[in-house]
Amino acid sequence: MNAVIQYLVQGLAAGSFYALAALGLAVIFGVLGVVNFAHGAFYMLGAVAAAVLLDTLGLTLWWGLLVVPVLMFLFGVLVERLLVQWLLPLDPLYNFLLTFGLTLLLVDLVKRRYGVSGLPYELPDLLQGRIDLLGVVLPRYQMFVFLFSLTVCLVVWLLMTRTRIGMIVRASTEKPELARALGINVSRWVTPVFGFGVALAGLAGVLAAPFRAITADMGNNFIIILFAVVVIGGLGSIVGAVVAGFLVGLVEAFGQAYAPTFSQILIFVLMAVVVLVRPAGLFGREDAA
């Protein structure tokens, strides 16, 4: 029973990264129609930035969680203004290819600068160690990751439902034709929304830095699972991205615990099943594709 609770927490912690990053991916797809292949690279950049800030400026995790998403937001804005915006009127495939190329570029640049063996990163003292919760020993940091990302998702949810920009994003994501027909000017929000999505990916990266190897390749596998997450949750749905993120984290953890040989394919089996039963994803809208 102890082990099961530990698997549960591990799954929710791993799911937190997926949920945050998938949220960013879903928002970018919803408003821009861009399938952002570079999301994994942005996640990696977030982790690298956190490590570099710690190494050069001594900024601990607390600072990293604040500073890195802001930096990633600005970087996202740059990418959108310089590259993505030109291909928006075209078939989404073009931006997909663009972001794929961007990934290769970013990964290689990081490799050149920092090598492949990874960067060190230390947890602040408060988050180190374990706590004993009703007899089950749980790492402090995993609990923190889960609670923190849940909070962020909640804040984003509030933004989506209580603010004007939130309503515009939701409208554009879930009912784009109707939004445009009602005269909502989606295009002026395109750049900040892209930046916001990238910031979320970077935030996931910062959270991952203490207990994942910070290597240039860390985003490569991540993006593939992220796509599965977004497909399971539903390409047009924000709630779906978050729920599917945590769900996939749990499937991964329990899969590894009870069927280790199949653990990697279980997520894709789940994706296949969801697509067969509900092609639009668990929460997706019918016309998403």
Partner 1 sequence: MSKNIAAGVAALASGALVLSACGGGGPSASEGEFTDDKIVLAVLNDQSGVYKDLSGPNSVVAVEMAVADFQEKYGDDAVVDEIEVTSADHQNEPDIANTKAQELYDREGADVILDVPTSSAALAVATQAKAAEKLFLNIGAATTELTGASCNKYTFHWAYDTYMLANGTGKAVTENGGENWQLIYPDYAFGQDMEKQFTAAVDEAGGSVQGSIATPFPNDNFATFLTKAASSDPDVIGTMQAGGDLINVVKQFNEAGLRERGIELAVGLMFITDIHSLGVEQFAGTTFTDAWYWNMDDETREFADRFLEETDTRPSFAHAGNYSAALQYLEAVQATGTDDADAVVEEFEGKKIDDVFLRNGEIRAEDHRVIHDAYLAKVKDPEDVTEEWDYEEIVTTIPAAEAFQPVEESGCTM
Contacting positions for partner 1 (CB under 8 A): 2-3, 6-7, 10-11, 13-14, 108, 111, 115-120, 122, 129-130, 137, 139, 141-142, 210-213, 215, 217-218, 221-222, 252-254, 256-257, 260-261, 263-264
Please tell me the distance from the alpha carbon of residue 46 to that of residue 40, in angstroms, as a whole number: 10
Instruction: Decide whether 80 or 252 has the Cβ nearer to partner 1.
Output: 252
User: Which has the closest alpha carbon to 44: 28, 61, 21?
Assistant: 21
* Phi/psi at 210 (5° precision): -65, -30
| Smallest separation (angstroms) from partner 1 to the CB of 266 | 11
Structure tokens at 6: 């530990």
Structure tokens at 107: 């990964």
Instruction: Decide whether 88 or 266 has the Cβ nearer to partner 1.
Output: 266
* Phi/psi at 35 (5° precision): -85, 100
Q: Is the Cα torsion angle 93, 94, 95, 100 positive or negative in sign?
A: positive
Instruction: Decide whether 49 or 248 has the Cβ nearer to partner 1.
Output: 248
| Smallest separation (angstroms) from partner 1 to the CB of 221 | 7
Instruction: Decide whether 101 or 279 has the Cβ nearer to partner 1.
Output: 101
Residues 147 and 154: beta-carbon distance below 8 Å: no
Residues 79 and 202: beta-carbon distance below 8 Å: no
Instruction: Decide whether 7 or 227 has the Cβ nearer to partner 1.
Output: 7
Instruction: Decide whether 197 or 210 has the Cβ nearer to partner 1.
Output: 210
CB neighbours of residue 185 within 10 Å:
9
| Smallest separation (angstroms) from partner 1 to the CB of 67 | 22
| Smallest separation (angstroms) from partner 1 to the CB of 115 | 5
| Smallest separation (angstroms) from partner 1 to the CB of 118 | 4
Instruction: Decide whether 187 or 221 has the Cβ nearer to partner 1.
Output: 221
Query: Strands (DSSP E) along the chain, which ranges?
Result: 130-133, 136-139
User: Which has the closest alpha carbon to 26: 190, 192, 252, 237?
Assistant: 237
| Smallest separation (angstroms) from partner 1 to the CB of 155 | 26
| Smallest separation (angstroms) from partner 1 to the CB of 255 | 8
Structure tokens at 32: 């821009």
Instruction: Decide whether 86 or 258 has the Cβ nearer to partner 1.
Output: 258
* Phi/psi at 183 (5° precision): 85, 20
Please tell me the distance from the alpha carbon of residue 72 to that of residue 59, in angstroms, as a whole number: 16
- State the SS3 of 253-264: HHHHHHCHHHHH
* Phi/psi at 128 (5° precision): -80, 160
| Smallest separation (angstroms) from partner 1 to the CB of 81 | 30
